[in-house]
Structure formats: C-alpha cells, structure tokens
C-alpha cells in the first residue's frame, strides 16, 4: 500500500507529506480491517431485510464482495 501511494504521489506530482501519507495508510488499514470482519455485512443485511440470506455464509460472501468493490469505487 505504501509503495503504491509513493508511486502515485510521484507520478501525479501530488503534495503529500509524511503525516498525510501516514494518516491515509492508517485510515485505510483500520477501515479495511473493520470491513473484513464480516459481522458488519451480516448486520447490514439483517437491518435491510435480508436476514434469511444473511444466515447463509455464501450469501454473506456474495454481498460482501460487491459491497467492498463499490466502497472502493470500482465496479463489482
């Protein structure tokens, strides 16, 4: 992650300091760690009326993958 940040910063000539880069990497690690726990996905499914589908681990995986892609701004 740090390597890609460094390459992007250099290629796009972006003014990113050490504090900003560190904050960005920490934020990314924390949010990815939270999303990868699966319980937020299950809770969201139950909250939105998909409780039966959420009981199936394959159902949670099929929801988790596209939600991660859309959270990152890329198509599923």
Distance CA 11, CA 31 (A): 26
Q: How many CB atoms lie within 10 A of CB 41?
A: 20
d(CA 30, CA 17): 20
What percentage of the chain carries pLDDT values higher than 70? 70
Q: Which residue has the higher pLDDT, 11 or 45?
A: 11
pLDDT tens profile 16-30:
888 988 888 888 888
Instruction: Report pLDDT for 64.
Output: 61
Summarize pLDDT for 37-57 with one digit per residue, the tens.
677 777 888 888 888 877 777
pTM for the model: 0.47
pLDDT at residue 75, as a whole number = 47
Q: Which residue has the tokens 């939270």?
A: 34
3-state helix, strand, coil in the chain (%, to 5): 75, 0, 25
Give the pair of three-digit tokens for residue 18: 């050490």
């Amino acid at each position: 992650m740090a390597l890609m940040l460094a390459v992007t910063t250099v290629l796009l000539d972006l003014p990113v300091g050490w504090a900003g880069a560190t904050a960005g990497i920490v934020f990314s690690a924390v949010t990815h760690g939270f999303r990868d726990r699966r319980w937020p996905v299950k809770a969201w499914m139950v909250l939105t009326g998909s409780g039966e589908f959420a009981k199936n681990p394959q159902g949670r995986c099929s929801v988790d993958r596209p939600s991660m892609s859309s959270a990152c701004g890329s198509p599923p």
